[in-house]
């Protein structure tokens, strides 16, 4: 028998994700000032929904292209971090400006979670080794789409059409690339929709202010 040998890989650093979580929790605690049409709690809810949607969109959009790079999972993680930050900022801007918009996002997320979870549940019956975690993950993807349904679906459609056209036109462009286009379209459409609504909300509410819970002691 060989002597004990140990080696290991560390493909994923938890630090960045934990940092984001801390940031999200800080925002959760933030006593943001009520805005015109919004509230501190609406800002918090918008932030959380935006962060979830941004992270999910960026992750699913990055998986196929990133898996074809040397960095692989690190590339996906970086995209997820960028998506989280963009979604977090957008959600905060939307929530601080419009309670109604946050309610629409939350309702869409709830409907999307049920629809996505239902699809996940149906797939669990037919896909070997599908777990309850996969059902929840499908629900989270559905919830993310639900926060920005129009942008995500328009993006999905545009990506699918572009991917299929490229598949027909270019021999080197295969079906996997076409699938990449579809998913990337969904992700970009969802994130673009979040950004658009954030800018739109801020334009309507010209002087948004969010107070972060930072106390400086002397």
126 binds other proteins (CB under 8 A): no
183 binds other proteins (CB under 8 A): no
80 binds other proteins (CB under 8 A): yes
Distance CA 117, CA 135 (A): 5
* Residues 2-21, mask of contacts with other proteins (x by CB under 8 A): xxxxxxxxxxxxx--xx-xx
CA neighbours closer than 13 Å in the CB half-sphere of residue 115: 14
81 binds other proteins (CB under 8 A): no
Stretches 128-136, 151-159, 183-191, 208-216: which one binds other proteins (CB under 8 A)? 128-136
Q: Of 19, 37, 38, 40, whose CA–CA distance to 213 is shortest?
A: 40
Instruction: Judge contact between 38 and 96, C-beta under 8 A.
Output: yes
Q: Which of 86, 97, 109, 194 binds other proteins (CB under 8 A)?
A: 109
Q: Which of 81, 86, 143, 156 binds other proteins (CB under 8 A)?
A: 143
Q: Of 28, 56, 64, whose CA–CA distance to 43 is shortest?
A: 28
166 binds other proteins (CB under 8 A): no
Q: Residue 157: in which H helix or E strand, if any? A: helix 149-169
- CB nearer other proteins, residue 4 or residue 215: 4
CB within 8 Å of 140: residues ≥ 6 apart: 52, 56, 113, 116
Q: Which of 30, 32, 51, 152 binds other proteins (CB under 8 A)?
A: 51
Rule CB under 8 A: which of 89-108 touch other proteins?
99, 102-103, 105-107
């Amino acid at each position: 028998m060989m002597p004990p040998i140990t080696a290991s890989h560390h493909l994923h650093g938890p630090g960045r994700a934990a940092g984001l979580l801390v940031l999200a929790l800080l925002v959760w605690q933030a006593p943001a000032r009520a805005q015109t049409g919004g509230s501190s709690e609406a800002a918090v809810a918008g932030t959380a929904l935006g962060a979830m949607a941004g992270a999910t969109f960026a992750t699913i959009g990055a998986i196929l292209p990133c898996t074809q790079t040397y960095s692989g999972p690190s590339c996906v993680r970086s995209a997820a971090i960028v998506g989280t930050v963009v979604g977090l900022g957008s959600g905060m801007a939307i929530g601080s400006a419009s309670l109604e918009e946050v309610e629409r996002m939350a309702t869409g997320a709830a409907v999307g979670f049920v629809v996505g979870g239902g699809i996940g549940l149906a797939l669990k019956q037919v896909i070997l080794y599908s777990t309850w975690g996969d059902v929840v993950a499908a629900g989270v993807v559905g919830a993310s789409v639900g926060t920005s349904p129009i942008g995500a679906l328009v993006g999905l459609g545009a990506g699918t059409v572009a991917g299929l056209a490229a598949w027909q036109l270019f021999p080197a462009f295969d079906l996997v690339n076409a699938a990449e286009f579809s998913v990337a379209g969904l992700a970009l459409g969802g994130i673009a929709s979040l950004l658009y609504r954030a800018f739109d909300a801020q334009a309507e509410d010209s002087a948004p202010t969010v107070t972060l819970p930072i106390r400086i002691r002397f």
